[in-house]
Structure 1
């Protein structure tokens, strides 16, 4: 019979006894009549329907209902039965007298009792009843005793045995509870029901200690087992309850606690769970501190929660229980004192890094010992640590082309050569074995301060640094980490403003712009100090002409051998043209083609040997027999993979000087930077393993700004990078537009079908396999969607519809061409360019074309630059993104965006470069309501990386979150 919420009702709690689970409660709402009396109309209330009755429930009622739900038999079975069993089957199986599951019974009991304890506390001000046998919830009313009762346990030891029994007092009067039909309705702690009154107890008495006496006057313990009984049971009772003894003695001992701090070495696997979050990948071993208090002859762990501890002493005739009450006030003062000194304890323990722990001990040990603290290493530690002063002195002296490094490390009285720490620092092992067998701990800060020094230094007996590590030497000196002695010449490296102006070579035809002249001076600057350099000016600022001017100067100064210029095949023609124009006196050997003469003796007749990366790789064994004056790599990102044959081959070549030219020193990863810097200045950034751990992972994975700044500082002296906005003030304006293209109906249908297919497939894979196994599928899906956003013909040769973007591109092209302008049209997809070609052919619009398979590349460029009838140049982004001078165009169309805006910027730079006289208009065509729009948004949000060091499609793909992927495919 349901209770009406529109009429008065009352929540009540009804006690009943379950055959297996013991006493439990159920919660009900009961209708109230006009006289304010409870009626027989009632309804069970649970968490499922409690909100219906919220008008007459308070916060405690909601807590009670939730707790009561958790102890009902169905909830218990659901929690503890892995199989779906009926109520009868579950309880008969678990609670069978002979074959029952005792451990599971105990777990269930603990679960129920924990919740019953909370329920009893919340019930004090509620209406509580005993349930009738017919299920009537308000059969008999119960009340709670307003005060707490006390229990006194009596022990009387005589010649044969020890009698043991409790007495209960309430409000100063003895409470008769034996043989009175009393019941313990909760055990942990005890709640006793007697004469319809529920009693609770001081000191949280365990109900199991009262249960035997509900129908029993005393328990007799025979002499034969009394010692064991006293040690196990009575000792525990003396600690937690009030005990009266006759026949043995209970003494209360009082002492002022003296702190004892033990420290020990532990492995990560043994770190207490409380401190599991203190474990890091870098250093699995830790130091565990454990605080104890010495009370007389007793030692009590600070982790021990109980405030009273009891020890049993057996005498000739009897027993003495020594009851020790802890001085919690003094213990708190001790913990506070240690906390102020940086030792924050949890339950009397803490875990610290070994380095930090030993440093803490060295700093605090003397003063704490003077305050009567006992601090010692635990016998179980297995290692004996040195605790004392640790210091280091490092000196660096310039010696010709090297810096010599020397130093002494002091562990107390022991002096250790600095070089002995090399392997420890590089492997991040902070334990150093001293001559006396003690373990000295290398301070944590030394790993940060000196790891680069050891990683970059050469030599096993005597440490040496190459001169190009000047930035590191400066940092060590500025940080007071080393004493440095050097000559005045090297002081010029501190600031590039001190670079001297160099005369231009007589054989140079033309004039360098001011910033180009500054670059020319810089090339001589690094040359004079025998450093390798990286000229990394923006595309179009004239890296070629600056380099040619420097090579002409080398020729006129009597260079003893030829220089080697290595570049992509597509740039050979450009270099020959530029050399003919600016340095016609340079003797240049075009060492390319199938029929090249493979004879290095020929090189002495030339000033410059010009070749491609492919030829260099094929002829590496031959080329490394010649000692070049310069080795110069153009578009040096070609060696960005340090493990590639190209990269390994070029590193084996020999030269007095090394130079690289690139507008994008980092394309895919900071490892690109390592490969190129290691070519021009070997050892500058350490070995690959070191660089990967110390720079690549922290920068790319963790976005570590400190590591990014550190790497920038190391490479800064050897890279000259100028942006067009800084130096080429004479360049005309560049105006950018974004044109949004609406998909046709047929195109939209094809797009939605593909999007749904990949969205379901990718999100399912994310759930099952995680992001690591989804990257390829994601890239595949996004590529197809991008292609359909351009034109569905790119994925479906049978598609007969049109494309919104194609219509817009052709419309804009006809408009530009009709007004006499020239336009570069870039796409990352050759298939897309083929579609554009067919559309241009239909409209009789002439064009030149370039992709990765184009052989007559320079002819295509010349035709577009000089033939006024050709106004369109179709270019694949990969083939035409670098090395082209296309200043005849003043319009640039980007047909499809991608993650890396730098790729698009390079394309625009084909037209917006030195020599351009007109304003350059850039149009980026974006298909509306497609993944292209999402890519633009993601560029702005996701590509704000720490510095310009990283700019990569691959890195972004790896860093996409599930939310990013969801947004891209929504």
Structure 2
């Protein structure tokens, strides 16, 4: 069809497969044109499309448009009458496509032949091409069929367009063995996996492997979205694997149980296996990764917002579980990709790797697909050392270098011990003297500042999450805030709690109107898998070397369902090791080092003089 058939000045419709929407454009007042034709108004957007500039060529242009999701637009399209005015040929084509079900390949071919450029004008990444009419039509029909299948599956949730696309992508992986759903944290990966299981329910049984702390969350989500699916929890000291598992059964277990009961779990012919928070199997030499690779399944899905946290071999490990052989052997992967990219910064190798993994990794960010999500506001809160902290800090540095840090493995251990001691001094001297020390006020600038901030947050009627990497510090904060702010008991969620107690703390904070306004969490135990959108403030009490870990924690609050701006407060004690961690987080050099190795190992390799220059308070300008 010639480009002139786009009918400039008429309402046009372009299918965007990545977002699962029809994009409406072509007239000055798109919203009015949609209303005049009885079509849903959708939401305003701008998009880059191939737009005709004359009768012979098209060019990339940014157009003002309205995006309407397929579940809403399909019934309206089918009801459009030919006599409706002001519609371009593209609209007529999509009307016929919405009615096309069951009419066979000949009808598809005929409709594709009649499709103008406007109907499939989405641009590729380089803005040099658009999909063919036949490809765009097939994507539309597949998406429309998926919408119908989701309705048939009885999922009691309204999926967003990108989630519908994600479910379709997951379902298509069955012929490939599996893949990685790597959506940014907070975009609803769990709901997409639940929808997949619901549509494959009759082909089960299915297995979900997740951290212990989120087993309860999975049980609630399955009961909420697909209440007719039977769920079995395989966890706890008295667990027993059922002799038979009916097809519709979804079994929930933890990575701990996967390691210990690998033989029993590998004896079951699973249809689908979902690895939630799959960074747990990022180390290919670990028992969990080896056990995950052994599980027999038609479809394996790894879900993680951080498929690469420290080094590229983590990506190899995940794909070795879901799609063994795609990246070759581990040694071959190092030779072809890991070494050239991490050490040589080879752009060619990176492009080649992206091309290989593209069919097996789906990654969307909030900026791309959840533009209605409120923003995050970041602030760094500078804290000062008290005299007591300064003395302890200097004494720790002096003692470590006076005794000597050693060499090799011993040096690495000694440096790690020193860094840990310095971070604990920055937190509060009581971390060094024991949790029974209750004389807390006035001894730590950070501790006192955090108390002031949290008091203000509570007084404003808001809620906050407080993350720390140390259990002792969490207990100190819990005891102090409980008495200082008069809140009753301020709860602390950490790895030492049982699964039921963790679930209770989350449910009370998230859902109870009388729940506590502050929840303290261990960064490792609660940095993933939890939905805590009741909070509008996140306070990072101490720093983790890898910023991705802190981001995971922040996104317990900044995720689908959040309606308010999330204020992220990072406490940094000036002139200390925390300053160095902050600099690593924000510098380009830090990004490179976080890919190629452990930052603590990098510090351990520094000569004594350079290392001391980073740690000594006098060198850093603290008096």
Please, which of 508, 512, 526 is the counterpart of residue 863 of structure 1? 508
1:264-303 map, 5 Å: none
SS of match in other structure, 1:807: helix
SS of match in other structure, 2:532: coil
Aligned residue in 2 for 1:549: 195
Please, which of 241, 257, 264 is the counterpart of residue 598 of structure 1? 241
Cα deviation, 1:389-424, whole Å, max 9, x if unaligned, reads xxxxxxxxxxxxxxxxxxxxxxxxxxxxxxxxxxxx
For 2:298 and 2:316, locate their aligned partners in 1 and report how far apart those are by CA, in whole Å: 21
Please, which of 567, 571, 579 is the counterpart of residue 925 of structure 1? 571
Contact 1:642/1:675 (CA < 8 Å) preserved in 2? yes
For 1:521 and 1:887, locate their aligned partners in 2 and report how far apart those are by CA, in whole Å: 27
Aligned residue in 1 for 2:384: 742
1:827 positional shift: 0.7
Cα deviation, 1:109-154, whole Å, max 9, x if unaligned, reads xxxxxxxxxxxxxxxxxxxxxxxxxxxxxxxxxxxxxxxxxxxxxx
1:707-786 map, 5 Å: 707-759=349-401, 765=406, 769=407, 774-786=411-423
Structure 1 or 2: more helix by fraction: 2
1:911–1:696 CA distance, 2 compared to 1 (3 A): same
Aligned residue in 1 for 2:25: none
1:614–1:782 CA distance, 2 compared to 1 (3 A): closer
1:773 positional shift: 5.8
Which TM-score applies when normalising by structure 2?
0.70
For 1:541 and 1:716, locate their aligned partners in 2 and report how far apart those are by CA, in whole Å: 20
1:709–1:945 CA distance, 2 compared to 1 (3 A): farther
Say yes or no: does 1:650 pair with 2:292: yes
Structure of higher CA gyration radius = 1
Relative contact order higher in (CA < 8 Å, ≥ 6 apart): 2
Say yes or no: does 1:849 pair with 2:486: no
Contact 2:309/2:594 (CA < 8 Å) preserved in 1? no
1:712–1:756 CA distance, 2 compared to 1 (3 A): farther
1:923–1:517 CA distance, 2 compared to 1 (3 A): same
Aligned residue in 2 for 1:515: 162
1:617–1:575 CA distance, 2 compared to 1 (3 A): same
1:305-384 map, 5 Å: none
1:646–1:710 CA distance, 2 compared to 1 (3 A): same
1:682 positional shift: 0.8
Contact 2:378/2:568 (CA < 8 Å) preserved in 1? yes
Contact 2:311/2:594 (CA < 8 Å) preserved in 1? no
1:760 positional shift: 5.1
Contact 2:411/2:604 (CA < 8 Å) preserved in 1? no
Aligned residue in 2 for 1:809: 450
1:822 positional shift: 0.7
1:916 positional shift: 0.9
For 1:713 and 1:760, locate their aligned partners in 2 and report how far apart those are by CA, in whole Å: 52
Aligned residue in 2 for 1:795: 432
1:513 positional shift: 0.8
SS of match in other structure, 2:530: coil
1:947–1:746 CA distance, 2 compared to 1 (3 A): closer
Cα deviation, 1:83-121, whole Å, max 9, x if unaligned, reads xxxxxxxxxxxxxxxxxxxxxxxxxxxxxxxxxxxxxxx
Q: Which 5+ residue runs of structure 2 have no aligned equivalent?
A: 1-133, 617-623
1:960–1:886 CA distance, 2 compared to 1 (3 A): farther
Cα deviation, 1:308-333, whole Å, max 9, x if unaligned, reads xxxxxxxxxxxxxxxxxxxxxxxxxx
Say yes or no: does 1:690 pair with 2:327: no
Aligned residue in 1 for 2:171: 524
For 1:947 and 1:661, locate their aligned partners in 2 and report how far apart those are by CA, in whole Å: 25
Contact 1:942/1:956 (CA < 8 Å) preserved in 2? no
1:955–1:755 CA distance, 2 compared to 1 (3 A): closer
For 2:572 and 2:385, locate their aligned partners in 1 and report how far apart those are by CA, in whole Å: 10
Aligned residue in 2 for 1:840: 481
Cα deviation, 1:571-604, whole Å, max 9, x if unaligned, reads 1111111111111122222222333343342x12
Please, which of 552, 556, 560 is the counterpart of residue 910 of structure 1? 556
Say yes or no: does 1:566 pair with 2:203: no
Structure 1 or 2: more strand by fraction: 1
Contact 1:669/1:952 (CA < 8 Å) preserved in 2? no
Contact 1:934/1:967 (CA < 8 Å) preserved in 2? no
Contact 2:176/2:323 (CA < 8 Å) preserved in 1? no
SS of match in other structure, 1:926: strand
SS of match in other structure, 1:604: coil
Aligned residues between the structures: 469
Say yes or no: does 1:588 pair with 2:235: no
SS of match in other structure, 2:560: coil
1:960–1:606 CA distance, 2 compared to 1 (3 A): farther
Contact 1:536/1:719 (CA < 8 Å) preserved in 2? yes
Say yes or no: does 1:611 pair with 2:258: no
**Comparing 609-618 with 529-538, which one deviates more in the overlay?**
609-618
Q: Which 5+ residue runs of structure 1 have no aligned equivalent?
A: 1-490
For 2:344 and 2:611, locate their aligned partners in 1 and report how far apart those are by CA, in whole Å: 20
1:639–1:958 CA distance, 2 compared to 1 (3 A): farther
1:597–1:829 CA distance, 2 compared to 1 (3 A): closer
For 1:881 and 1:901, locate their aligned partners in 2 and report how far apart those are by CA, in whole Å: 12
1:802 positional shift: 0.8
Aligned residue in 1 for 2:271: 629
